[in-house]
Amino acid sequence: MIDLKSNFIGIQTPNPFWLASAPPTDKAYNINRAFEAGWGGVMWKTLGEAGPPIVNVSGPRYGAWHGKDRTLMGLNNIELITDRSLDINLQEIIQVKKDWPDRGVVVSLMVPCEEQSWKDILMQVEDTGADGIELNFGCPHGMSERGMGAAVGQVPDYVEMVTAWCKQYSQLPVIVKLTPNISDIRTSARAAVRGGADAVSMINTINSVMGVDIDTMRVSPTVGEQGAHGGYCGPAVKPIAMHMVSEVARDAECGGIPISAIGGVSNWRDAAEFMALGATNVQVCTAVMTYGFRIVEDMIDGLSRCLADRNMASVDDLIAAAVPTVTDWAKLDLNYVVKAQIDQDSCIKCGRCHIVCEDTSHQAISTQINGERGFEVIDKECVGCNLCVNVCPVEDCISLRQLQAGEMDERTGLPVSGDYRNWSQHPNNPMRVAGE
């Protein structure tokens, strides 16, 4: 088995699997169980300043979106930061770090956007022996209405300012947790870099309303007679999170800042994909709230096998391996032409490919082969959009064949050309710059 040791901004852990700041990391009892199961580190559930306790709703805190087989695809939560006292949390952090010196313990923080408030809590957290702090600039509900969480994360100047305070008043590594509820996550990441952040974590939850009970006309989750928007997480947000991670990973102004990836990580493959897109480690929440802490055993085993099968010696070989393959649309290869093809031996003749192509795409699939019912691609109409591949219920029944340079594209009546690499050089581009 491959050694999965991970080094995240100087925090050494036995593997790159961390628990995100959330209900599973709210107390020492949970975290001890998580470390016993094999998790490499935790982001302690967000602490606030000393004073009147946070009051959470006692009604439903979660709304769920299920797949047809009751698979939990997404959770909406309206829970706030920890409602346990600051003193109790600090004492438990001291004990956990003493008992588990080889695991990562980073403390998530959220206090009012005032310099003294941050200075005070930083001094207290530093005394616990924690490995770092995570600035919660992402929580989209409850706390944001109080001028914290996403209310800070959506203003780059505030992100930079508070990050700089934390670097000034603490010796601990500073991780800035970014909100996805913004037009371009790179602006917040760049602000964190300017403030001196050691790393960023992304993404926090997405603003959402899970649904409406059309019998009662109440939104879900409902507390008494009303509901409110909450934060959306789980497997369904993974594609959004992967896009944002890759954007920051390849952004020159972010300067290769380390990334802790969050958003729909449910198994080793999800983790591997995020790491290939530039993440140093991953944080998990919804999956453990669905299946429990022991899922990390399969994650450790699966990632070890993944690396071994690819002759990778460590997780470092995986990090950012796919980043060079991510680009902007304008740089995509317009010489790459494909056509769909149907394997007649595995085709079950359900007709789904024809229906979707006929109704919503390019009318490129016929319903007759030699006068009998069957489905065949019409090359002169096919644009290689891949919709038929995605809706076909038989895996690998429909595939895409690449046309080679010089081969005739029946749709355009022209041979596949190597005369232009991308849209910037395409003859139809009015903004084309010669020699670009």
Q: Which residues are catalytic?
A: 139
What token pair was written down for 137? Answer: 């600039």
Pairing of strands 414-415, 408-409: antiparallel
d(CA 33, CA 292): 10
Enumerate the H helices of 20-74 as residue ranges.
28-37
d(CA 300, CA 286): 18
d(CA 229, CA 214): 17
Work out the end-to-end distance of the chain between its first and last CA atoms, rounded to an integer number of angstroms: 47
Residue 146 makes CB contacts below 8 A (sequence gap 6+) with 112
Cβ distance 11 to 131 under 8 Å? yes
d(CA 164, CA 158): 10
Conformation bin of residue 41: beta by default, left when phi > 0, alpha when psi is -120 to 50: beta
d(CA 231, CA 417): 48
* Residue 90: φ, ψ to 5°: -65, -40
Cβ distance 203 to 209 under 8 Å? no
d(CA 291, CA 11): 27
Positive or negative torsion for Cα 27, 202, 167, 153: negative
Cα distances (angstroms) measured from residue 42 to each of 12, 31, 323: 12, 7, 26
Tokens 């994360």 sit on residue? 153
Tokens 């008043």 sit on residue? 169
Give the burial class of 229: count Cβ atoms within 10 A of its Cβ; 0-12 exposed, 13-18 middle, 19 or more buried.
Answer: middle
Strand partners, 341: 399
d(CA 276, CA 318): 5
